Amino acid sequence: AEKPVLFSGPCAVESYDICIEIGSTVKELAERMGFSYVFKASFDKANRTSSGSFRGIGMDDSLGVLERVGKELQVPLVTDIHESYQAAEVAAVVDVLQIPAFLCRQTDLLLAAGHTGKAVKIKRGQFMAPEDMQYAVDKVRSTGNNNVCLTERGFALGYHNLVVDMRSLPTMRQYAPVVFDITHSVQQPGGEGGSSGGQKQFAPFLARAAAATGVDGFFIETHPEPAKALSDGPNMVPLEKMEGFLSMLKDAWDLGRKHIDFTI
């Protein structure tokens, strides 16, 4: 039977130990609850608000950790790329290349990702109408690669605030499968002076809403100690809360699937 995809892990590849702890825990939960699991971690935080923020342990070391985690857990991997030269090197290790929201109109990056033959996951820009994401999908498909999906993570509602427009989910599903990014949808860009803040208290509400609306997968960053995470701490789901979160999410996803064809 069809299952929702779960992209989940720490924000950044902080270390092998953190990655394997998170990955093994989430893998077990995902299997038990009926999600298809993909381990996620970024090898580079390329667009931090300020340049003094943590960017990662380096591309080579990060890819090494990712590869090891993927092999040990026997799970597919997703990570984001920021410039086209990274596509081939990263694709040698991971299964899904994620295109950051700010970069969803960069033709070279989309083409480079498409040419690797790996799956391409494009985040909707905070400045893009949902229906304009079809052109990003088309750019990837022009390389002959049809393995592409879209991700909703909020649109600019004035300054320092993002809103999730649930209409974007059925709109974008016309073009490709759609993942709901629970973690970044509650981000508040630049909201804390030099770094982005968050409203993680809204994560369960938005997650239920998107799941009930109808999506194909979810993206959740998690960490055993969010307050100590080296990035995105304000938005992450604590690892110990993931069991309850996934249980709720699966329930809401089943409801969305049941009613998704109802029209008026």
Binding of a second copy by 59 (CB under 8 A): no
Binding of a second copy by 225 (CB under 8 A): no
Q: Which stretch binds a second copy (CB under 8 A): 9-17, 28-36, 77-85, 88-96?
A: 77-85
DSSP, residue by residue, the chain: ----EEEEE-SB---HHHHHHHHHHHHHHHHHHT-EEEEE-BS--TT-SSTTS---S-HHHHHHHHHHHHHHHT--EEEE--STTHHHHHHTT-SEEEEPGGGTT-HHHHHHHHHT-SEEEEEPPTT--GGGHHHHHHHHHTTT---EEEEE--EE-STT-EE--TTHHHHHHTTS-EEEETTGGGEETTTTSSS-EE-GGGHHHHHHHHHHH--SEEEEEEESSGGG-SS-GGGPEEGGGHHHHHHHHHHHHHHHHHHTT---
Binding of a second copy by 96 (CB under 8 A): no
Q: To the nearest whole angstrom, how small is the minimum distance from the Cβ of residue 134 to a second copy?
A: 9
Q: To the nearest whole angstrom, how small is the minimum distance from the Cβ of residue 245 to a second copy?
A: 7
Contacting a second copy within 109-138 (CB under 8 A): 110-111, 125-132, 135, 138
Q: Of the two residues 3 and 257, which places its CB atom closer to a second copy in the complex?
A: 257
Binding of a second copy by 30 (CB under 8 A): no
Binding of a second copy by 54 (CB under 8 A): no
Binding of a second copy by 237 (CB under 8 A): yes
Q: Of the two residues 16 and 209, which places its CB atom closer to a second copy in the complex?
A: 209
Binding of a second copy by 257 (CB under 8 A): no
Q: Of the two residues 149 and 236, which places its CB atom closer to a second copy in the complex?
A: 236
Contacting a second copy within 140-169 (CB under 8 A): 142, 155-161, 163-167, 169
Binding of a second copy by 233 (CB under 8 A): no
Cβ(76)–Cβ(95) below 8 Å: yes
Binding of a second copy by 208 (CB under 8 A): yes
Binding of a second copy by 25 (CB under 8 A): no
Q: Which stretch binds a second copy (CB under 8 A): 6-14, 33-41, 63-71, 192-200?
A: 192-200
How many residues interact with a second copy (rule CB under 8 A)? 78
Binding of a second copy by 89 (CB under 8 A): no
What does DSSP say about strands 148-152 and 119-123: parallel, antiparallel, or unpaired? parallel
**Distance between alpha carbon 181 and the CA centroid of its chain, in Å?**
5
